[in-house]
Chain A
Amino acid sequence: MLGEKRLADIAQRVLREANAEQAEVMITSNDSYLTRFATNTIHQNVAESDATVRVRVISDHRTGVATGNDLGEQGLKKLIATAERIASFQERVPDLAPMPTPRPAKSASAHIEATARCTPMDRALGVEKILAPSRAHGLEAAGAFATEEQEIYIANSHGVAAYHRGTVASILTVIMGEDSSGYAADASIDVTRIDPAAVGKTAIDKAIAGRHPTAIEPGEYTVILEEEAVADMLFFLGYMGMGALAMQEGRSFMCGRLGQRVTGEKITIWDDGLDPRGLPLPFDFEGTPKQKVVLIDKGIAQNVVYDSATAAKEPGKTSTGHSLPAPNTQGPLPINLFMEPGRVTKEEMLASTERGIWVTRFHYTNILHPVKTLITGMTRDGTFLIEKGKVARPLKNLRFTQSILEALASVEAIGSRLKVVKDDWNALGTTVPALKIRDFRFTGTTA
């Protein structure tokens, strides 16, 4: 890791040497470790140390961007020259939004020394707490235990200067039997709050309970979705329609519906990059502080999130701090989503269900129709039939084809516990409760 002072020095050097009217520099640095296991053994164990710098310049309403990972003096000079050369080739864009100016910012406490200091042997010993009981039960464990320390520094020639450092620890496992599997996972900024043995036990119990699954006819069923499945739905909802550009282009389900009911009244969804219950990131990729934005309040569509470019297109709007690295064609996105918890436990949801299906998580979910919020995917690693308030038998995996908004309009109960579900591809988390939903649509099954 390079530290705030070194990153600030690099950033200021870039800003000093850039000739453009406006310049922005984003530097990310990370030390990442991941211990991967399968068939009850560690089969991949990797470490990465990287730092990348991204320079954006604007001159005469023309933008240029260049990225690289050479932080030496010559490397930075080359990067600046490349960005400025690219800008000179651009078409002039008269309504190009300027880079943001400084705003009061809050910091987010997200760095834990224990996570940063976690060693390969620490992770291997943690993994062994899953592997040993898996072997003892005649099962096979697969999964990954990762720890990461990262920092980001964003500065621009208007005076923005934002630094954040954080840690993330995450563990997940799939325990496999002859014809069954069970999944469990946990994530936190603090590795000491992760209990590999408990994660392993949950997955082992599911793999054992899932033995000898049978098929069930596709159709509409009441479901209890565990947090991983809910997070999957919420991620897609945010991606498809909770950003201002999707609204402005008419491809969002929110179009023409702000102030109207879009889900059941039990549902409240917001984005908050400062909430320590998630995986915090206090500013966006333009260095603008993140605001808490309520997207759906008691079922009523309230807001979408903005970056500088989309805010400039609507009178009275300012960026809410949700830019991706600018410029981009996707527009702003909510990447720290939360759903308001309810009052029941998953066990109480189970006890109240006459007949339904318990879903541990989804697999390979994808969008069929963004405006209708229609998605499809499979269940995976723990699908069970519920009868008379109890788990009756394990089921073979099912394919669902379901509108997310229709599902959220049919929520019967919301879990009392929030769980942060880490994205597989980055250090972002979606923080959600479990949900009980009626009339969830399954359209196929495995043989």
Chain B
Amino acid sequence: MRELTDRALEVARAKGARYADIRIVRRETQILETKNGVVETLSLGDGYGFGVRVIADGAWGFASSSRVDKAEIDRVAALAVSIAKASAISKNVDVDLGPPEVHVGSYQTPVEKDPFGISLETKIDYLLRADKEARAVPGVRVVEGTLGFQRETKTFASTEGSYIEQTLVESGAGNVVMAVSEGEMQQRSYPNSFGRHQGTGGYEFIETWDLPGNARRIAEEAVALVSAPQCPSGVKTILLDGPQLGLQIHESCGHPIELDRVYGTEAAFAGTSFLTPEKYRSFRYGSDLVNIVSDAVTPGGLGTYGYDDEGVPAQRTDIVKKGQFVGYLTSRETAQQLRKLHPDAPERSNGAMRADGWNRTPIIRMNNVSLLPGEWTFEDLIADTDDGIYMVTNKSWSIDDKRLNFQFGTELAYEIKHGKLGQMLKNATYTGMTPQFWAGCDAICSDKHWHVWGTPNCGKGQPGQVAHTGHGAAPARFRNVQVGVMKS
């Protein structure tokens, strides 16, 4: 591998690059999907290729190919430099990466049971047992189950002297049950919606979540939802479960702290951010209870790795501390941009640059952006709530381009009356503005209820990139939230 990486860096240098890096990436995937007792999808994927990123004439260029041989490496490295030189015709300033990052090392996701070593029969049996349990419930129309596994092996080398090898392994599982009656469709998912819950780790992750043991429960909930009353509208106290709160963190904190987005590089697609640079360390994001970190090192999180795709070591950084906004997700380049306005900001990137495979250039992505736990037990939190709505598992999400105005819907909700969970409600939604919403956070459950929820479908960038991110969350309570806009 060294021979190939050295060659790419040499060609780039010879063509005029002042900086170059290369990533050679193999991504193996295995997806199993069942539907109503039938294995609908059983597919293996194996993608291999490399990408060369360069700075020439002070501007960026990137080129990639799925043909990994010496001739193609020469062509692609030279192409990357010529692209950079074309970029330079519009540059405002030369790219500044700050101090060199020189790291030689390796990282391997800790795995107890290699998911690619577990037989397909075992996996199919696991999904079909869950499927059978759910379809035993009268009124169920569709049951879908998914297992997903990924192993990414990547080598990073740079002209600064870095050489890093990593193997990242992910496992994920999910069930969704749909119940239908005339003009009405309701669904329940477990452990999380939109495909599956996923983490870094081996097959032990799948066994922990026990899809068969939870299938009947969610099937009964889906059927009950069809005839459940509509969630009422009004300004209310709400409690969010961990998965829904995870997505709330993702959308209203994770995206607006991406510093490339703050500086406008996503303006035409994903949008910008309300957390503009002058707010750094001087903006109240939420109540005193709100502590949020960017964390690429928590074991098992879907955003856990050893080094980012600029070769910067994984780390943990404060984002919101006692309600105050104190940090961004950064790259080497944006860290230098921030220091122009805030000279006391960290000189080095906090390691949040990741690329969706060999054929994409790295952009700032969330790792595990997590809300730290509080001290409540869930039981005490319910008992302490006189009048509210408990919302469970995301069903829909939407947020504006600055990440301020949001609206979320959940699959399931329960009324809370006089400290007790009451009747089931359907079609619950809530809406608000990000800082006001987080200012209303007055209770967070303890680490006993805290878990890093995986989001394996975060879209950003052009050409499009899908990132796998994690969000640690425990159930929490929010006051004065606008609930409901749907007509019944």
Is B49 in contact with A34, judged by CB distance below 8 angstroms?
no
Is B486 in contact with A374, judged by CB distance below 8 angstroms?
yes
Bound Cα distance from A70 to B68, whole angstroms: 10
List residues of chain B with CB within 8 A of the CB of A37: 90
Is B485 in contact with A401, judged by CB distance below 8 angstroms?
yes
Q: In this assembly, does A64 line the interface, its C-beta being within 8 Å of a C-beta of chain B?
A: yes
Bound Cα distance from A42 to B33, whole angstroms: 41
Is B180 in contact with A120, judged by CB distance below 8 angstroms?
no
What's the tally of chain A residues with a CB closer than 8 Å to chain B?
Answer: 86
Is A68 in contact with B396, judged by CB distance below 8 angstroms?
no
Bound Cα distance from A447 to B436, whole angstroms: 11
List residues of chain B with CB within 8 A of the CB of A63: 42
Within 8 A of B (CB), among A353-381: 363-372, 374, 376-378, 380
- Binary interface profile of A, 32-50, with partner B (CB < 8 Å = 1, else 0)? 1011111111111111111
Residue on B nearest A406 in the bound complex, by CB:
B487
State whether A45 and B39 are in contact (beta carbons under 8 Å apart), knowing that A38-B264, A51-B66, A425-B464 are contacts in the complex: no
Q: In this assembly, does A214 line the interface, its C-beta being within 8 Å of a C-beta of chain B?
A: no
State whether A89 and B44 are in contact (beta carbons under 8 Å apart), knowing that A45-B86, A377-B398, A378-B400 are contacts in the complex: no
Is A364 in contact with B268, judged by CB distance below 8 angstroms?
no
Bound Cα distance from A399 to B67, whole angstroms: 46
List residues of chain A with CB within 8 A of the CB of B431: 399, 443-444
State whether A370 and B185 are in contact (beta carbons under 8 Å apart), knowing that A86-B44, A120-B83 are contacts in the complex: yes
Residue on A nearest B433 in the bound complex, by CB:
A447
Within 8 A of B (CB), among A101-153: 119-121, 123-125, 127-128, 131, 140, 142-144, 146
Distance from A139 Cβ to chain B, minimum over Cβ atoms (Å):
11
Bound Cα distance from A363 to B402, whole angstroms: 11
Is B401 in contact with A70, judged by CB distance below 8 angstroms?
no
Question: Of B43, B80, B396, which is within 8 A of A67 by CB?
Answer: B43
Query: Which of the segments A172-180, A186-194, A333-341 contacts the partner chain?
Result: A172-180
Q: In this assembly, does A159 line the interface, its C-beta being within 8 Å of a C-beta of chain B?
A: no
Residue on A nearest B72 in the bound complex, by CB:
A49
Is B265 in contact with A367, judged by CB distance below 8 angstroms?
no
Query: Which of the segments B56-64, B234-242, B299-307, B444-452 contacts the partner chain?
Result: B56-64
Q: In this assembly, does B46 line the interface, its C-beta being within 8 Å of a C-beta of chain A?
A: yes
Q: In this assembly, does A277 line the interface, its C-beta being within 8 Å of a C-beta of chain B?
A: no
Q: In this assembly, does A52 line the interface, its C-beta being within 8 Å of a C-beta of chain B?
A: yes
List residues of chain A with CB within 8 A of the CB of B108: none
Q: In this assembly, does A327 line the interface, its C-beta being within 8 Å of a C-beta of chain B?
A: yes
Q: In this assembly, does B462 line the interface, its C-beta being within 8 Å of a C-beta of chain A?
A: yes
List residues of chain B with CB within 8 A of the CB of A46: 62-64, 83, 360-361, 463
Q: In this assembly, does B1 line the interface, its C-beta being within 8 Å of a C-beta of chain A?
A: no
Q: In this assembly, does B91 line the interface, its C-beta being within 8 Å of a C-beta of chain A?
A: yes
Residue on B nearest A397 in the bound complex, by CB:
B400
State whether A48 and B42 are in contact (beta carbons under 8 Å apart), knowing that A251-B180, A399-B431 are contacts in the complex: no
Is A445 in contact with B405, judged by CB distance below 8 angstroms?
yes
Bound Cα distance from A372 to B183, whole angstroms: 7
List residues of chain B with CB within 8 A of the CB of A32: 463
List residues of chain B with CB within 8 A of the CB of A259: none
Is A34 in contact with B463, judged by CB distance below 8 angstroms?
yes
Bound Cα distance from A46 to B427, whole angstroms: 43
List residues of chain B with CB within 8 A of the CB of A399: 398, 400, 405, 407, 431
Is B185 in contact with A371, judged by CB distance below 8 angstroms?
yes
Q: In this assembly, does B376 line the interface, its C-beta being within 8 Å of a C-beta of chain A?
A: no
Bound Cα distance from A181 to B400, whole angstroms: 14
Bound Cα distance from A44 to B183, whole angstroms: 47
Q: In this assembly, does B79 line the interface, its C-beta being within 8 Å of a C-beta of chain A?
A: yes
Within 8 A of A (CB), among B386-443: 395-402, 404-405, 407, 409, 427, 429, 431, 433
Question: Of B64, B86, B124, B462, which is within 8 A of A144 by CB?
Answer: B462
Distance from A356 Cβ to chain B, minimum over Cβ atoms (Å):
21
Distance from B274 Cβ to chain A, minimum over Cβ atoms (Å):
9
Question: Of A89, A123, A131, A369, which is within 8 A of B86 by CB?
Answer: A123
List residues of chain B with CB within 8 A of the CB of A444: 405, 407, 431, 485
Distance from A107 Cβ to chain B, minimum over Cβ atoms (Å):
27
Distance from B58 Cβ to chain A, minimum over Cβ atoms (Å):
10
Is A251 in contact with B84, judged by CB distance below 8 angstroms?
no
Bound Cα distance from A131 to B91, whole angstroms: 10
Is A65 in contact with B396, judged by CB distance below 8 angstroms?
no
Within 8 A of B (CB), among A432-447: 443-447
What's the tally of chain B residues with a CB closer than 8 Å to chain A?
Answer: 83
Is A45 in contact with B83, judged by CB distance below 8 angstroms?
yes
Q: In this assembly, does A347 line the interface, its C-beta being within 8 Å of a C-beta of chain B?
A: no
Q: In this assembly, does A424 line the interface, its C-beta being within 8 Å of a C-beta of chain B?
A: yes
Q: In this assembly, does A3 line the interface, its C-beta being within 8 Å of a C-beta of chain B?
A: no
Question: Of B35, B38, B178, which is within 8 A of A251 by CB?
Answer: B178
Is B141 in contact with A249, judged by CB distance below 8 angstroms?
yes
Is A251 in contact with B185, judged by CB distance below 8 angstroms?
yes
Is B400 in contact with A364, judged by CB distance below 8 angstroms?
yes
Within 8 A of B (CB), among A378-410: 378, 380, 397, 399, 401
Bound Cα distance from A174 to B39, whole angstroms: 44
Is B268 in contact with A38, judged by CB distance below 8 angstroms?
yes
Bound Cα distance from A378 to B351, whole angstroms: 32
Q: In this assembly, does A91 line the interface, its C-beta being within 8 Å of a C-beta of chain B?
A: yes
State whether A67 and B401 are in contact (beta carbons under 8 Å apart), knowing that A41-B91, A368-B396 are contacts in the complex: no
State whether A70 and B462 are in contact (beta carbons under 8 Å apart), knowing that A47-B79, A120-B82, A327-B41 are contacts in the complex: no
Q: In this assembly, does A328 line the interface, its C-beta being within 8 Å of a C-beta of chain B?
A: yes
Bound Cα distance from A447 to B434, whole angstroms: 11
- Binary interface profile of A, 250-285, with partner B (CB < 8 Å = 1, else 0)? 110000100000000000000000000000000000
Is A40 in contact with B42, judged by CB distance below 8 angstroms?
no
Is B400 in contact with A380, judged by CB distance below 8 angstroms?
yes
Is A68 in contact with B47, judged by CB distance below 8 angstroms?
yes
List residues of chain A with CB within 8 A of the CB of B59: 42, 45
Residue on A nearest B179 in the bound complex, by CB:
A250
Is B359 in contact with A378, judged by CB distance below 8 angstroms?
no
Residue on A nearest B466 in the bound complex, by CB:
A425
List residues of chain A with CB within 8 A of the CB of B485: 376, 401, 443-444
List residues of chain B with CB within 8 A of the CB of A120: 61, 82-83, 86-87
Is B141 in contact with A131, judged by CB distance below 8 angstroms?
no
List residues of chain A with CB within 8 A of the CB of B66: 49-52, 69
List residues of chain A with CB within 8 A of the CB of B400: 363-364, 378, 380, 397, 399, 446
Bound Cα distance from A35 to B85, whole angstroms: 12
Q: In this assembly, does A74 line the interface, its C-beta being within 8 Å of a C-beta of chain B?
A: no
A40-B90, A329-B33, A368-B427 given; 18 more Cβ-contact pairs under 8 Å: A42-B91, A45-B86, A46-B64, A50-B65, A63-B42, A65-B42, A86-B120, A93-B38, A120-B82, A327-B40, A363-B271, A366-B398, A369-B185, A376-B407, A380-B271, A399-B405, A425-B459, A446-B400
Kindly list the 3 A-B residue pairs having the minimum CB-CB distance in the complex, ordered from nearest. A142-B267, A120-B86, A65-B43
Residue positions of B touching A, CB distance < 8 A: 33, 35, 38-49, 59-67, 76, 79-80, 82-84, 86-87, 89-92, 120-121, 124, 128, 141-142, 144, 178, 180, 182-185, 263-269, 271-272, 359-361, 363, 395-402, 404-405, 407, 409, 427, 429, 431, 433, 459, 462-464, 485-486
Q: List 21 A-B contacts (CB under 8 A).
A: A40-B90, A42-B59, A42-B60, A46-B83, A47-B76, A66-B44, A67-B47, A86-B42, A86-B43, A120-B86, A121-B86, A131-B90, A142-B266, A256-B182, A329-B41, A364-B397, A369-B427, A376-B396, A399-B398, A401-B485, A425-B459
